[in-house]
Amino acid sequence: MNKKPVEQLLMEIDNFSRKCNLSKKEMAQKLSINYETFRKWFQKGKGRKNPSLTYIEKMEKFLESWKETDIYWKELWIKILGWWKTQHRYSTIRDLADEIGWDVQNFTNYLQNKEMPPKLVIEKIAKIVGFEIPVLDSMHQEAQRKTKKIKYLLLLLEDELRWFRDSPKEARGIFREELDLADIGYISSLLTMLGDEKKFKRWVTLTTNRFNFFKREEENEKSSD
């Protein structure tokens, strides 16, 4: 990625933080990026640094997720406007405004001008009507993406393991020689414990095992030099 798109990306991130009244430190926390690393991207002069490809991708995913959510809010407001025209639950705008706890004058202006009110107002009405509310938390969306990825990985893993299951014992012998059984046990336990939050928290507290295969590989390479 060349310099211009990076500058444009940083500008969009800066615009987002200004729109949401977030400080640089708060924005860094929202992106799960170290603040000292993050702030150097916005410095002027020699101290300025450019983000790595990993950070660029993280910021792009965040903005894409935010834009999709923002569009959803607008579409949700349009649905609410359509619902308001046909509903018979509230006789006046004041009745609905009182229920959501908002100023009737402002609410009337938004309804009549069809402009989008604050998201909190939309959320309250959506809950009353029963419309689905978009998830704002990018962490939630990232969890969904990673869960889907793990699903595909498990399908691939099962297919490969089935080959060893149905092969002669010599093939399984190579499997045992090449892979660390402690690491396999760790991954197996982690997958199992993720299925129950109470068990998972207890397991995280008590277990001392970690996935160390690549670390050991690196140590072996160093020792052989």
121 in the same domain as 102: yes
Q: What is the pLDDT of residue 161?
A: 94
In whole angstroms, give the CA distance from residue 36 to residue 58. 17
To the nearest whole number, what is the mean pLDDT of the chain? 82
Within a domain: residue 104? Answer: yes
pLDDT tens for residues 170-204? 999 999 988 888 888 888 999 998 888 888 888 87
- Domain of 217 in residue numbering reads as 183-225
Q: Given a cut of 90, is residue 95 above it in pLDDT?
A: yes
pTM confidence score: 0.40
112 in the same domain as 87: yes
Within a domain: residue 11? Answer: no
As a whole number, mean pLDDT of residues 100-128 equals: 86
Last residue within a domain, chosen from 35, 56, 77: 56
211 in the same domain as 157: no
Number of separate domains in the chain: 4
Within a domain: residue 14? Answer: no
Model confidence at 1, pLDDT cuts 50, 70, 90, reads very low
124 in the same domain as 74: yes
74 in the same domain as 99: yes
Query: How open is the CA angle 171-212-222, to the nearest 5 degrees?
Result: 95
119 in the same domain as 89: yes
118 in the same domain as 76: yes
Within a domain: residue 188? Answer: yes
Last residue within a domain, chosen from 56, 76, 102: 56
DSSP code for 42: G
Within a domain: residue 33? Answer: yes
Check: CB of residue 51 under 8 Å from CB of residue 34: no
187 in the same domain as 157: no
Within a domain: residue 23? Answer: yes
214 in the same domain as 166: no
SS3 content of the chain, % helix, strand, coil (to 5): 75, 0, 25
196 in the same domain as 159: no
Name which of 153, 176, 155 is nearest 164 in CA terms: 176
46 in the same domain as 31: yes
Within a domain: residue 87? Answer: yes
Within a domain: residue 4? Answer: no
Check: CB of residue 212 under 8 Å from CB of residue 219: no
